[in-house]
Amino acid sequence: MTKMTEKEKAAQGLLYNAYYDKELIDERAYCKALCYEYNQLHPAKIKEKTSLIRELFGKIEDPFLIEPPFICDYGYNIEIGSNFYANHNCIILDGAKVVFGDNVMIAPNCSFYTAGHPLDSERRNEGLEYAYPIKIGSNVWIGGNVVLLPGVTIGDDAVIGAGSVVTKDIPSGVVAVGNPCRVIREVNDKDKNF
Protein backbone atom coordinates (compact mmCIF):
# COMPACT_ATOMS: atom_id res chain seq x y z
CA MET A 1 0.00 0.00 0.00
CA THR A 2 1.39 3.37 -1.00
CA LYS A 3 1.70 6.11 1.53
CA MET A 4 -0.62 9.06 0.93
CA THR A 5 0.94 12.41 0.08
CA GLU A 6 0.09 15.42 2.20
CA LYS A 7 -1.86 16.82 -0.77
CA GLU A 8 -3.92 13.60 -0.99
CA LYS A 9 -4.62 13.77 2.75
CA ALA A 10 -5.82 17.38 2.39
CA ALA A 11 -8.15 16.41 -0.49
CA GLN A 12 -9.75 13.77 1.76
CA GLY A 13 -10.26 16.11 4.73
CA LEU A 14 -7.60 14.37 6.84
CA LEU A 15 -4.95 16.04 8.96
CA TYR A 16 -2.00 16.92 6.74
CA ASN A 17 1.23 18.85 7.05
CA ALA A 18 1.14 22.06 5.01
CA TYR A 19 4.11 23.68 6.77
CA TYR A 20 6.88 21.25 5.93
CA ASP A 21 5.71 19.40 2.80
CA LYS A 22 7.83 20.45 -0.19
CA GLU A 23 5.12 19.82 -2.79
CA LEU A 24 2.60 22.05 -0.99
CA ILE A 25 5.22 24.70 -0.20
CA ASP A 26 6.22 24.86 -3.86
CA GLU A 27 2.59 25.05 -5.02
CA ARG A 28 1.85 27.89 -2.59
CA ALA A 29 4.98 29.74 -3.70
CA TYR A 30 3.91 29.47 -7.35
CA CYS A 31 0.40 30.67 -6.48
CA LYS A 32 1.72 33.57 -4.38
CA ALA A 33 3.93 34.67 -7.27
CA LEU A 34 0.92 34.74 -9.61
CA CYS A 35 -1.16 36.62 -7.04
CA TYR A 36 1.66 39.14 -6.59
CA GLU A 37 1.88 39.65 -10.35
CA TYR A 38 -1.91 40.03 -10.57
CA ASN A 39 -2.01 42.57 -7.77
CA GLN A 40 0.75 44.71 -9.33
CA LEU A 41 -0.90 45.05 -12.75
CA HIS A 42 -2.22 48.40 -13.89
CA PRO A 43 -6.07 48.45 -13.74
CA ALA A 44 -6.25 48.89 -17.53
CA LYS A 45 -4.42 45.56 -18.14
CA ILE A 46 -7.67 43.57 -18.25
CA LYS A 47 -6.41 40.90 -20.67
CA GLU A 48 -3.33 40.18 -18.53
CA LYS A 49 -5.39 40.08 -15.33
CA THR A 50 -7.89 37.67 -16.89
CA SER A 51 -5.08 35.44 -18.14
CA LEU A 52 -3.48 35.22 -14.69
CA ILE A 53 -6.76 34.24 -13.01
CA ARG A 54 -7.30 31.59 -15.69
CA GLU A 55 -3.84 30.22 -14.88
CA LEU A 56 -4.61 30.23 -11.14
CA PHE A 57 -8.13 28.83 -10.84
CA GLY A 58 -9.25 25.25 -11.38
CA LYS A 59 -12.46 26.12 -13.24
CA ILE A 60 -13.83 29.39 -14.63
CA GLU A 61 -17.01 30.43 -16.39
CA ASP A 62 -17.22 33.84 -18.08
CA PRO A 63 -17.71 36.65 -17.32
CA PHE A 64 -15.86 37.35 -14.09
CA LEU A 65 -14.12 40.26 -12.38
CA ILE A 66 -11.85 40.09 -9.35
CA GLU A 67 -10.63 43.41 -7.97
CA PRO A 68 -7.08 43.45 -6.64
CA PRO A 69 -5.67 42.83 -4.20
CA PHE A 70 -6.61 39.17 -4.30
CA ILE A 71 -4.85 36.37 -2.41
CA CYS A 72 -5.23 32.60 -2.43
CA ASP A 73 -3.09 29.64 -1.33
CA TYR A 74 -3.17 27.25 -4.29
CA GLY A 75 -5.70 28.56 -6.80
CA TYR A 76 -6.39 25.21 -8.45
CA ASN A 77 -9.00 24.40 -5.79
CA ILE A 78 -11.11 27.46 -6.72
CA GLU A 79 -14.03 27.15 -9.14
CA ILE A 80 -16.21 30.08 -10.19
CA GLY A 81 -19.48 30.13 -12.10
CA SER A 82 -20.54 32.74 -14.64
CA ASN A 83 -21.01 36.40 -13.73
CA PHE A 84 -18.69 36.19 -10.69
CA TYR A 85 -17.57 39.39 -8.94
CA ALA A 86 -15.19 39.73 -6.01
CA ASN A 87 -14.40 43.19 -4.67
CA HIS A 88 -11.05 44.31 -3.16
CA ASN A 89 -9.19 42.27 -0.53
CA CYS A 90 -10.72 38.87 -1.18
CA ILE A 91 -8.76 36.07 0.51
CA ILE A 92 -9.38 32.42 -0.33
CA LEU A 93 -7.36 29.86 1.64
CA ASP A 94 -8.09 26.95 -0.67
CA GLY A 95 -6.48 23.90 0.90
CA ALA A 96 -9.79 22.25 -0.12
CA LYS A 97 -12.24 23.09 -2.91
CA VAL A 98 -13.98 26.47 -2.86
CA VAL A 99 -16.82 26.40 -5.39
CA PHE A 100 -18.93 29.41 -6.34
CA GLY A 101 -22.14 29.14 -8.38
CA ASP A 102 -23.36 31.63 -10.98
CA ASN A 103 -24.12 35.29 -10.24
CA VAL A 104 -22.12 35.51 -7.01
CA MET A 105 -21.25 38.97 -5.68
CA ILE A 106 -18.62 39.34 -2.95
CA ALA A 107 -18.16 42.70 -1.20
CA PRO A 108 -14.74 44.00 -0.03
CA ASN A 109 -12.62 42.33 2.65
CA CYS A 110 -14.18 38.87 2.54
CA SER A 111 -12.31 35.72 3.55
CA PHE A 112 -12.94 32.08 2.75
CA TYR A 113 -10.98 29.72 5.01
CA THR A 114 -11.02 26.02 4.18
CA ALA A 115 -8.09 25.43 6.53
CA GLY A 116 -8.29 24.89 10.26
CA HIS A 117 -5.91 23.61 12.91
CA PRO A 118 -6.14 21.09 15.75
CA LEU A 119 -7.10 22.54 19.12
CA ASP A 120 -4.40 20.39 20.71
CA SER A 121 -1.24 22.54 20.70
CA GLU A 122 1.15 19.59 20.31
CA ARG A 123 -0.46 18.46 17.06
CA ARG A 124 -0.88 22.05 15.89
CA ASN A 125 2.82 22.77 16.56
CA GLU A 126 3.74 19.83 14.32
CA GLY A 127 2.31 21.87 11.43
CA LEU A 128 -0.84 19.80 11.07
CA GLU A 129 -4.03 21.26 9.66
CA TYR A 130 -7.20 20.12 7.96
CA ALA A 131 -9.11 21.55 5.00
CA TYR A 132 -12.85 21.22 4.43
CA PRO A 133 -14.53 22.47 1.23
CA ILE A 134 -16.67 25.60 1.02
CA LYS A 135 -19.59 25.78 -1.42
CA ILE A 136 -21.43 28.95 -2.38
CA GLY A 137 -24.63 28.53 -4.40
CA SER A 138 -25.87 30.68 -7.27
CA ASN A 139 -27.34 34.20 -6.94
CA VAL A 140 -25.59 34.78 -3.62
CA TRP A 141 -24.55 38.17 -2.26
CA ILE A 142 -21.90 38.21 0.46
CA GLY A 143 -21.59 41.54 2.30
CA GLY A 144 -18.37 43.26 3.32
CA ASN A 145 -16.00 41.82 5.92
CA VAL A 146 -17.62 38.38 5.95
CA VAL A 147 -15.59 35.34 7.04
CA LEU A 148 -16.57 31.81 5.99
CA LEU A 149 -15.07 28.95 8.01
CA PRO A 150 -14.10 25.43 6.85
CA GLY A 151 -16.83 23.18 5.53
CA VAL A 152 -19.72 25.64 5.19
CA THR A 153 -22.26 25.73 2.38
CA ILE A 154 -24.32 28.78 1.41
CA GLY A 155 -27.53 27.93 -0.46
CA ASP A 156 -28.79 29.59 -3.65
CA ASP A 157 -30.34 33.06 -3.47
CA ALA A 158 -28.96 33.75 0.02
CA VAL A 159 -27.70 37.08 1.33
CA ILE A 160 -24.99 37.14 4.00
CA GLY A 161 -24.93 40.43 5.91
CA ALA A 162 -21.78 42.50 6.36
CA GLY A 163 -19.48 41.52 9.21
CA SER A 164 -20.86 38.00 9.55
CA VAL A 165 -18.81 34.98 10.57
CA VAL A 166 -20.32 31.92 8.89
CA THR A 167 -19.67 28.85 11.05
CA LYS A 168 -22.54 26.62 9.83
CA ASP A 169 -24.44 25.99 6.60
CA ILE A 170 -26.92 28.66 5.48
CA PRO A 171 -29.99 27.48 3.53
CA SER A 172 -31.25 28.88 0.22
CA GLY A 173 -33.37 32.01 -0.07
CA VAL A 174 -32.59 33.62 3.28
CA VAL A 175 -30.93 36.68 4.78
CA ALA A 176 -28.39 35.66 7.42
CA VAL A 177 -26.21 37.91 9.60
CA GLY A 178 -24.13 37.98 12.75
CA ASN A 179 -21.31 36.33 14.62
CA PRO A 180 -22.01 33.49 14.47
CA CYS A 181 -24.08 34.01 11.32
CA ARG A 182 -27.73 33.01 11.68
CA VAL A 183 -30.83 33.23 9.53
CA ILE A 184 -32.99 36.26 10.34
CA ARG A 185 -35.61 35.92 7.60
CA GLU A 186 -36.45 34.65 4.15
CA VAL A 187 -35.91 36.75 1.04
CA ASN A 188 -39.46 37.68 -0.03
CA ASP A 189 -41.52 39.58 -2.62
CA LYS A 190 -41.19 42.86 -0.67
CA ASP A 191 -37.46 42.74 -1.39
CA LYS A 192 -38.21 43.15 -5.11
CA ASN A 193 -39.49 46.68 -4.41
CA PHE A 194 -36.35 47.83 -2.60
Q: In the chain, where are the structural domains located?
A: 14-186
pLDDT computed for residue 66 by the predictor? 98
What is the Cα–Cα distance from 19 to 46, expressed in whole angstroms? 34
Among the listed residues 135, 67, 56, the one whose alpha carbon sits nearest the alpha carbon of residue 101: 135
Q: Is 42 noted as a catalytic residue in this protein?
A: no
Q: Does residue 191 carry a pLDDT above 90?
A: no
Burial of 58 (0-12, 13-18, 19+ CB in 10 A): middle
What confidence tens digit (pLDDT) does each residue in 50-79 have?
999 999 999 999 999 999 999 999 999 999
Average pLDDT over residues 158-183: 98
- Predicted TM-score of the model (pTM): 0.95
Tell me which of 28, 117, 135, 182 is the catalytic residue: 117
pLDDT tens for residues 96-141? 999 999 999 999 999 999 999 999 999 999 889 999 999 999 999 9
Which listed CATH number (3.90.1150.10, 3.40.50.300, 2.160.10.10, 3.40.50.620) goes with 14-186?
2.160.10.10
Res. 167: pLDDT tops 90: yes
Q: State residue 194's pLDDT score.
A: 74
pLDDT of residue 192: 81
